[in-house]
Amino acid sequence: MAPLLALMIAGCAAVPPVAPGPVATPVTAVIQARAETDPVGTADDAADDPAIWRNPADPAASLIVATDKRAGLHLYDLKGRRIAFTPSARLNNVDLRDRVRIAGVPAILVAASDRADVANAKMALFRLDSVARKLVPLASVPVGPGEAYGMCLWRRARDAVLFGFVVMKDGRIDQMAFDLTGAVPTARRVRSMKLGTQSEGCVVDDRTGRLYVSEEDVGLWAFDAEPTAPVTPQPIGRVDGATLFADAEGMALAPRGRKGGYLVVSSQGDNGYALYRLPDMRFAGRFRIGDGRVDGTSETDGIDLVTGDFGPDYPGGLLVVQDGDNAPATQNFKLNAWGDVLKVLKLR
């Protein structure tokens, strides 16, 4: 345990990151959601994080997995209708990867951070059955001491090996290497990193092997996702009250080409979302989701974004975000066209 502790201390981020480029108060553009999901079944800050599976054979039949952190996992279609529910007491963040093999069989793996035991973090693993349109529980995998909070997956480009990153509430990040050769997946911890204060959102760019993590009241950091890489975080953005407001929460990627695209971050403190260009992390703009055919969003926690065709309503990509105030109903998730974001911000 001593070498692991040394790595954690060496990688601890003690100072706020420096924002790349000058900080100015930008104009916040506004889009409107195209649809919303059925509300989650429980109240009091329950909905949290979505993950999108794009159906390559029929994009309009794609699915959304989303957490109710007091009850379990919901499965929604692109109309926002709940089509399945899988009970699980305290799942917080969720991510998925398709085109994996479990015991040699093609599968869609869903992983969620399990905080049922606040002293001992776990990953809850499921298989998404896209034909029956349901989640099949697979395993509960121990991670390490602490309260599991954030969760994201990385499929390494050179060999398709799958890793999971579990962000603890205190800022520690445990990297887990999956073994999917058996019928029941397992994982082992291969390294730990550390940020200074409460952290949650994370996302990994499968193309470049870059892990992005949000430290809620401080800013944005990047790590090399390779398990043998240094654990020192690289600063990429600051909670400055202009481009990004505390709490910095959910993170998602809109990849383009080999290295380009955008990182999208939930700016929870002002009900907005900030965009950063890849790979140089220059601030690219910000937007909010206002009232329209459905109500707008506020205090968003988790987000997910997948580019590509999702049918006539989302031809350029789908952005799903949690809505922290869906009164008079309980919280839910809003579905947005990625093309609407690019258009209103005059981006490509």
CA distance 10 to 296: 42
| pLDDT of 141 above 80 | yes
Residue 5 in this model has a pLDDT that exceeds 80: no
In this prediction, residues 103-112 reach a mean pLDDT of 98
The predicted model scores a pTM of 0.94
Flag whether pLDDT at 9 surpasses 60.
no
Res. 285 pLDDT band, cuts 50 70 90: very high
Average pLDDT, integer, range 168-180: 98
Question: Residue 43: its pLDDT value, please?
Answer: 93
Q: With 70 as the cut, is the pLDDT of residue 152 above it?
A: yes
Region of 128 (left: φ > 0; alpha: ψ -120 to 50; beta: rest) is: beta
* Mean pLDDT confidence for 101-111: 97
Instruction: Say if domain 2-8+26-344 classifies as CATH 2.40.270.10.
Output: no
What's residue 89's pLDDT? 85
What per-residue confidence (pLDDT) applies to 13? 54
When pLDDT is averaged across residues 168-184 and rounded to a whole number, the result is 97
Residue type, 99: R
> What's the 3-state SS for 217-262?
CCEEEEEECCCCCCCCCEEEEECCCCCCCCCEEEEEEEEECCCEEE
d(CA 71, CA 90): 7
Q: Which of 278, 268, 240, 252 is nearest to 16 (CA)?
A: 240
Report the percent of the chain where pLDDT is more than 90: 91
Which amino acid makes up residue 118? V
Average pLDDT in the 99-112 region? 97
For the CA atoms of 259, 180, 159, 191, the dihedral, rounded to the nearest 10 degrees, stands at 70
Q: Does residue 21 come out as left (phi exceeding 0), alpha (psi in the -120 to 50 range) or beta?
A: left
How many residues can be counted in the chain?
A: 348
pLDDT for residue 211 is more than 60 = yes
Give the mean model confidence (pLDDT) for residues 229-248.
97
CA distance 324 to 335: 14
pLDDT tens figures, 59-85:
999 999 999 999 999 999 999 999 999
Give per-residue pLDDT as tens, 16-38.
Answer: 444 444 456 689 999 999 999 99
Per-residue pLDDT, averaged over 275-289, amounts to 97
Residue 11 reports pLDDT greater than 60: no
Instruction: Work out the number of other CB atoms within 10 angstroms of the CB of residue 133.
Output: 13
**What is the reported pLDDT for 24?**
60
**What band does 298 get if pLDDT is binned at 50, 70 and 90?**
very high
Residue range 235-251: average pLDDT? Answer: 97
Residue 335 CB burial class (10 angstroms; 0-12, 13-18, ≥19): buried
Q: Give the per-residue pLDDT at 12.
A: 54
Residue 86 has pLDDT above 80, yes or no: yes
What own/partner pairs with CB < 8 Å and gap ≥ 24 does 7-12 have?
7/191, 7/192, 7/193, 7/231, 8/172, 8/192, 8/193, 8/194, 8/231, 9/194, 10/231, 10/232, 11/192, 11/193, 11/194, 11/230, 11/231, 11/232, 11/233, 12/171, 12/194, 12/195, 12/196
